[in-house]
Amino acid sequence: MSNHTDAAAEVLLERKGCAGVITLNRPRFLNTLTLGMIRQIYAQLKKWEQDPKTFLIIIKGAGEKAFCAGGDIRALSEARNTNQKMLQDLFREEYILNNAIDSCQKPYIALIHGITMGGGVGVSVHGQFRVATEKSVFAMPETAIGLFPDVGGGYFLPRLQGKLGYFLALTGFRLKGRDVYTAGIATHFVDFEKLGMLEEDLLALKSPSKENIADVLETYHAKSKTDQDKPFILEEHMDKINSWFSANTVEQIVDNLQQDGSSFALEQLKVIKKMSPTSLKITLRQLMEGSSKTLPEVLIMEYRLSQACMKGHDFHEGVRAAEAFERCLCSLAKSPEVPALLLSRLGETPAMVNPAIYHFACT
Q: Which helix (H) or strand (E) holds 30?
A: none
Taking the C-alpha atoms of residue 315 and residue 109, their distance in angstroms, rounded to an integer, is: 32
Catalytic residues: 71, 119, 142, 150
Write the CA distances from 264 to 173, 241, 267, 269, 273, integer angstroms: 12, 10, 5, 9, 14
Q: Which helix (H) or strand (E) holds 57?
A: strand 56-61
Taking the C-alpha atoms of residue 236 and residue 243, their distance in angstroms, rounded to an integer, is: 13
Longest dimension (CA), the chain: 62
DSSP 128: S
- Report residue 346 CA to chain centroid gap: 27
Answer for the pair 316, 77: CB distance below 8 angstroms, yes or no.
Answer: yes
> What would the DSSP string read from start to end of 142-204?
GGGGT----TTHHHHGGGSSTTHHHHHHHH-PPEETHHHHHTTS-SEE--GGGHHHHHHHHHT
Closest CA to 44 of 8, 95, 88, 4: 4
